Chain A
Amino acid sequence: MSAVDPTVLEPEPLKDAGAAADRRSARRERLRLLVRNPSAIIGGAILIFWIICAVFGDVIAPYSPFATDFDGHLPPGGTHILGTDQLGRDVLSRVIIGARDVLIAAPICATIGVGLGTLIGLLMGYYRGWLDDGLGRIIEAFLALPVPLVALLTLAALGSSTTTVVLTVGIFFTPIVARTVRAAVLAERENDYVQAAKLRGENGLYIMFREILPNITGPIVVEFTVRIGYAVFTIAFLSFLGVGIQPPTPDWGLMVSEEYALIIGGYWWVTVFPALAIASLVIAVNLVADALQEVNER
Chain B
Amino acid sequence: MLRFLIRRIALGLVTLLLLTVIVFALSNVIPGDVGRQILGPFAPQESVDELNQRLGTDQPLYTQYLNRMADYARGDLGESYASRESVANLIGESFWASAKLALLALLVTIPLAVIAGVYAALKRGSIFDRVIVTVSLAGSSLPEFVTATFIIVTLGVSLSIFPVLARPPDGADPLTQLYYLAMPIMALVIVYFGYIARMARAGVIAALEADYTRTAVMKGLKRGVVIRRHVLRNALLPTISVVATQTGYLFGGLLAVELIFNYNGLGRLLVTAARDKDLPLLSAGVLVIGIVYMIATLLADILISILNPRVRLGEDG
Point out residues on A near B: beta carbons under 8 Å.
137-138, 140-150, 152-159, 229, 233-234, 236-237, 240-243, 253, 256-257, 260, 263-264, 266, 268, 271-272, 275, 278-279, 282-283, 285-287, 290
Contact = CB atoms under 8 A, between A and B. Distances in A.
A237 B257 CA distance: 11
B283 interface: yes
B153 A271 contact: yes
Interface in B244-300: 245, 248-249, 251-253, 255-256, 259-260, 270-271, 273-275, 277-279, 282-283, 286, 289-291, 293-294, 297
Contacts of B156: 263-264
B22 A260 contact: no
Contacts of A290: 137
6 contacts: A141-B19, A149-B270, A156-B273, A233-B143, A275-B145, A275-B149
A68 to B, nearest CB: 24
A256 to B, nearest CB: 6
A287 B136 CA distance: 11
A153 B149 contact: no
B32 to A, nearest CB: 8
B271 A152 contact: yes
Nearest to B286: A153
B248 A279 contact: no
Given A275-B146, A283-B137, A146 B273 contact: no
A154 B245 CA distance: 22
Main secondary structure of the interface of B (DSSP, over half): helix
B153 A268 contact: yes
B14 interface: yes
A283 B138 contact: yes
B149 A256 contact: yes
Contacts of A229: 141
Interface centre among B16, B21, B158, B274 (most CB of A within 10 A): B274
B30 interface: yes
A241 B256 CA distance: 7
Given A145-B286, A145-B289, A146-B252, A263 B145 contact: no
Taking chain A's interface residues, is the majority helix, strand, or loop, or is none over half, making it mixed?
A: helix
Nearest to B139: A283
A149 B293 CA distance: 13
Contact of A156 (B164, B277, B297): B277
Contact of B274 (A156, A266, A283): A156
Given A137-B15, A282-B142, A150 B152 contact: no
A40 B311 CA distance: 38
B28 interface: yes
Nearest to B252: A146
A166 B164 CA distance: 33
B28 A240 contact: no
Given A144-B19, A154-B29, A283-B142, A237 B274 contact: no
Nearest to A285: B141
Contacts of A275: 145-146, 149-150
A240 B256 contact: yes
B157 A266 contact: yes
Task: Report which residue of B15, B138, B150, B282 has the largest number of chain A beta carbons within 10 angstroms of its beta carbon.
Answer: B15
B299 to A, nearest CB: 14
B61 interface: no
Interface in B68-122: none
B27 interface: yes
A283 B252 contact: no
B152 A256 contact: no
Given A152-B271, A153-B23, A144 B15 contact: yes
A24 B57 CA distance: 66
B194 to A, nearest CB: 10
Given A263-B149, A279-B146, A138 B27 contact: no
Given A137-B11, A260-B145, A271-B149, 9 more contacts: A141-B22, A144-B290, A149-B286, A152-B274, A156-B273, A233-B142, A266-B157, A278-B142, A279-B142
Contacts of A147: 252
Contacts of B14: 137
Given A137-B14, A229-B141, A236-B143, A243 B152 contact: no
A257 B248 CA distance: 24
Nearest to A149: B252
Given A241-B256, A266-B157, A286 B137 contact: yes
